[in-house]
Structure 1
Amino acid sequence: MRKINHLFIMLLLLIPLLAACNNSSKEKQVHKSKTTMVKPKPRFKDTPTLYFHGLMGSYKNEKPLVDAAKEAGKTNSVIRANVDETGKVKLKGRIKKNAKNPIVEVNFKDNTQPDFSRNGIYASNVVKALQKKYHINKVNMIGYSLGNIAIIYYMIQNGLKKNMPRLVKQVSIAGHYDGAYFQELPPSFRQPKGLKLDKNGKPNKMNQTYKQMLKARPAYKTNKVKILNIYGDIGNGGDGVVEIASALSLKYLTSGSKYQAIKFTGVKADHGSLPNNDQVINKIVEFLW
């Protein structure tokens, strides 16, 4: 009996020690768990710039600006992001460790996608692929025509998410935010007749897609994106496809950000020529880098 009592007393004495060891082990596990949650540093210093082409376009439409950036010594690293119809992204090429202002030529295989939200998913998947491979935490974006809508929907879907890269600078080329006016277009895409803007860029009439894009406003207000809005005027109040009022309605969608707009006229100010216009390209290069 004395032996049993002695063992019982020894056990009581050991319990606090065992508990202490157990707690110590748990503390180490918690600490280790917290350490693994720390986001890895980006693999290069400069902010990558993604370029989104327009309707029926491809990465080839992005070449003039990319080549100009190379020639000006603004970048030494260019890769391509191919996106298939399902949204799967394949990165072609590799961004150098010492990359200077890396550029990503985005190429949508489904380049006639009428579902603007899906274009946003395509853009988001490209950013996620870059984030996974290069641990990026911020991006610049250039959009031409329909490519601009992909950027707006990226902001709707991700602009307030802390775990997604932040949009720093945005270039809009010939954006049809409140639609373009063609009878062939469905009403949700068509520019409303008699479209006018107030001093804040707010349209007096909004088509269905513009109303949906209003969801991006909180993200722009929070992120304070630097925006350059480029539009053309060939003498008829627009670039031949997009009217000035529709292009400038971007201001209201991005209210709270640092917004500026530049009008281009004359030769190569039409919708199709703006991305190839040397003056436009020079202004974009100056703005981004």
Structure 2
Amino acid sequence: MIMKRNRKKKIKAILPIFVLILMVISFIGGHFTAQNDTRKAQVKLESSTKASSSVIIGKAQQSIMVPTIYINGSGGDIRPSQHIIDGMFPNKATAPETGLTILVDISRNNKLTVSGKISSTDKNPIVQFATVKGTDDGELYSKALKVAMDYLVSTYHITKINMVGYSSGATGGLYYILDYGNESDAPKVQEFISLDGEYNKEKNLEAGETLQDVLTYGPILKTSMYQYIEDRYTKIDPNTKFYLMEGNWSLEKQTDEAIPWADTFSIYHLLVANKNNVNMYLYPTKLRHGLVPKDPLVANYIKNILYPTL
């Protein structure tokens, strides 16, 4: 009996301590649970905030203008691009606003001259670009285009752009993408249209080489111009769509008078390797290189790509 009484006393003495321990554990457990719930709530709140922001950003992006910059060739003026624009929109009332002309003088430290402006309501404004007569160097064009792009970004806050490059203007446009396209503030190039573009310094096919060989493997003879592109082509955004146009003026010589087909299509396989969507168009024409911007087929092809609803 005495042992039972002693055992009961011990249990009574231990019980309050045990209850106290349970209360502490319960409090601590409840505290951690509350913390976890708070953390979950914070995570949900952050996720919700990010989601709503992305929607807002998405809506804003849809309303931002996407200009098309027409890069003229070594003639040094905007006449070629104006011929293309006139061909696309003979009825001026249906045309996008031409708006802006940008001239960059490489002989005067890339002096910038701008005329006109872009309307805030125009979603697809036209920008015409040229540099001094005789410019046919891709790197010089690239630097001049950088000046023009910096102006467009700082003045109109553009984030996307299309390019139409004619002759050495196409060379300069591609060099610009290679040199500056990955900079954080550079507008993303959505569509790149090359009209009789030069990428392998006017080199014809070698003996035994076919155009299909060039399209599949690239040219046998690689000039420094081509090697510059080959060494850097992976810098091109794979999301940029490419359209390589070349006039079939002489079937026998495989040239448009100035640029051989083997030259203008020499970058085709590089773009394919880079996962770009690339199209080639060898169109029949009676017009030599200097007159191809006046060709109706050229105007219709470019219009269907850039302004399908106009």
Normalization by structure 1: what TM-score? 0.75
The Cα offsets for residues 170-217 of structure 1, whole Å up to 9 and x where unpaired, read as 110111211215xxxxxxxxx574465344352222111110122441
- Give, in whole Å, the separation in 2 of the partners of 1:65 and 1:266: 15
Q: Does residue 267 of structure 1 match 2:286?
A: yes
What does residue 164 of structure 1 align with?
A: 186
Conserved 8 A contact 1:230-1:262? yes
Aligned residue runs from structure 1 range 5-44, under 5 A: none
Identify which of 123, 141, 153 aligns with 1:131: 153
Q: Does residue 239 of structure 1 match 2:256?
A: yes
TM-superposed deviation, 1:69: 4.1
TM-superposed deviation, 1:273: 2.0
Aligned residue runs from structure 1 range 1-289, under 5 A: 45-71=64-90, 73-85=94-106, 86-109=109-132, 111-181=133-203, 193-194=206-207, 196=210, 197-200=213-216, 202-220=218-236, 222-234=237-249, 235=251, 236-255=253-272, 256-268=275-287, 270-289=288-307
- Give, in whole Å, the separation in 2 of the partners of 1:176 and 1:166: 22
What does residue 4 of structure 1 align with?
A: none
The Cα offsets for residues 22-77 of structure 1, whole Å up to 9 and x where unpaired, read as xxxxxxxxxxxxxxxx9xx7896331001111122411221122224444624134
Structure 1 residues 75, 91: CA separation in 2 closer, same or farther (over 3 Å shift)? Answer: same
- Give, in whole Å, the separation in 1 of the partners of 2:71 and 2:85: 12
Conserved 8 A contact 1:148-1:172? yes
3-state SS of paired residue (1:254): helix
3-state SS of paired residue (1:178): coil
- Give, in whole Å, the separation in 1 of the partners of 2:241 and 2:97: 23
- Give, in whole Å, the separation in 2 of the partners of 1:44 and 1:89: 28
Conserved 8 A contact 1:44-1:98? no
Structure 1 unaligned blocks of 5 or more: 1-37, 182-190
Conserved 8 A contact 1:136-1:165? yes
One-letter amino acid of the structure 2 residue matched with residue 87 of structure 1: N
* CA RMSD between the two structures: 2.3
One-letter amino acid of the structure 2 residue matched with residue 237 of structure 1: Q
One-letter amino acid of the structure 1 residue matched with residue 301 of structure 2: K
- Moved >6 Å (runs of 4+): 41-44
Which structure shows the bigger proportion of residues in helix conformation? 2
- Give, in whole Å, the separation in 2 of the partners of 1:130 and 1:279: 30
3-state SS of paired residue (2:289): coil
Structure 2 unaligned blocks of 5 or more: 1-56
Normalization by structure 2: what TM-score? 0.70
- Give, in whole Å, the separation in 2 of the partners of 1:44 and 1:87: 32
One-letter amino acid of the structure 2 residue matched with residue 225 of structure 1: T
What does residue 12 of structure 1 align with?
A: none
- Give, in whole Å, the separation in 2 of the partners of 1:57 and 1:281: 21
3-state SS of paired residue (2:290): coil
Structure 1 residues 108, 241: CA separation in 2 closer, same or farther (over 3 Å shift)? Answer: same
Conserved 8 A contact 1:70-1:76? no
Calculate percent identity across the aligned residue pairs: 21
